[in-house]
Amino acid sequence: MQMSGSVWAAQDTTPAQIETGLRDLLRERHARSEAYVPARVLNLVVVADREWRGEIQNRLDQVGRYHASRTILCCVEPGQDTIDAWATAEGERASSPTDVSILHEQVVLDIGSKHLEHLETIVDPLVVTDLPTLVWSPHGHPEAVDAMLDLAQIVLIDSVHEPDPAGALRRAQQLSERAYVVDLAWLRSTPWRERVAFAFDPMQWRGELWKISSVTVKHRPDSRAAGLLFLGWLAKRLGWEPGSMLSQNGALHGIAHARRQDVKLRLEPDETINAPGLAGVAIETASGLSASLDRGSGGLTARRRLRDGLEREWTVMGASRGEAGILGEGIRQAMLRDKTYGPALSAAQAMLG
């Protein structure tokens, strides 16, 4: 066991020894300057394959001001029998004697696959008591997430990374019965949902919501779950009753029953986009109005065609946070409560029958 500066490290250690090392780190920091104050908002537990530790660490470094107070990165290496660990407590130096410097703590654990089924016993002594705990397992390991559900109140998932959209949505539903779920697939559609709502917000267009006759959603081929969640959101917000969607030539087709008429639904893969999530949304109404959004340079390209055939096109700047910002947004959402995701998830599952 050793501590050098603001780093503590040990091989073949125990959770109790790691917890003691963390307390020693904080004491050392405070002895150096009373301006150092540990952040106390959120615990984040990440379970990742050890070979991808660098990538996960880079993503965590890019979350900006949404850093968790204490991050516990569990790096899984098959065959590892012991627990190796190192910990840091980092914060920017205060610019004046009256300022404080917020410390963010990180613990990196090298563990084996055998530790995952009882991960909560390892992590429990390391989380800050009385803070909400968020668990994220980007490389699968559902047994680790299940083990953490008695300790963590929030689970971060990404439904587009699962090869089976139906299975991904079922898993999200199962998790939501025991914890608050933050789904990155859902968060990626936030700009699209905001812009669609804004397009129909003016009083002269609001009545068209009840005349919607068709909705087409384009998505990256691996992001069908994101498209289903978007359609589920529309259905629940507008009181549609969605039916099962059928596959045809790689696309999904279905019908939702609205108050006045049926609405044709279509999910269409688009292989031209690189980023996960949606590629375009097109909405038509029975009165001849149409509105669409498509990915474009610098933002989303919006188009509106009126009943008389007059068309208008403009660019919605800064509509996407990008993959660098989506994880930070997921951590931020852990402290909030989105009441629209659950109903959208239920409707999306109904569309898959």
3-state secondary structure of 155: strand
Phi, psi of 191 (to 5 degrees): -60, -35
- Using DSSP, state whether 154 is helix, strand or coil: strand
pLDDT tens readout for residues 203-262:
999 999 999 999 999 999 999 999 999 999 999 999 999 999 999 999 999 999 998 899
Backbone angles phi and psi of 248, in degrees to 5: -150, 115
Residues of the chain with pLDDT under 50: 1-5
Architecture of domain 190-322+338-351: 2-Layer Sandwich (3.30)
Q: What is the pLDDT of residues 151-178, one digit of tens each?
A: 999 999 999 988 899 999 999 999 999 9
**Residues β-bridged to residue 302:** 293, 314
Nearest of 209, 235, 348 to residue 287 by alpha carbon: 209
Q: Where in the chain is the domain with CATH 3.30.360?
A: 190-322+338-351
- Alpha-carbon dihedral of residues 112, 326, 90, 179, nearest 10 degrees? -60
Predicted structure pTM score: 0.93
Tell me the two tokens of residue 347.
């409707």
Measuring CA to CA, how many Å separate 70 from each of 88, 222, 257?
10, 32, 47
- The torsion of the CA quartet 228, 234, 235, 236, rounded to 10 degrees, works out to 110
- Torsion on CA atoms 343, 217, 319, 199, rounded to nearest 10: -80
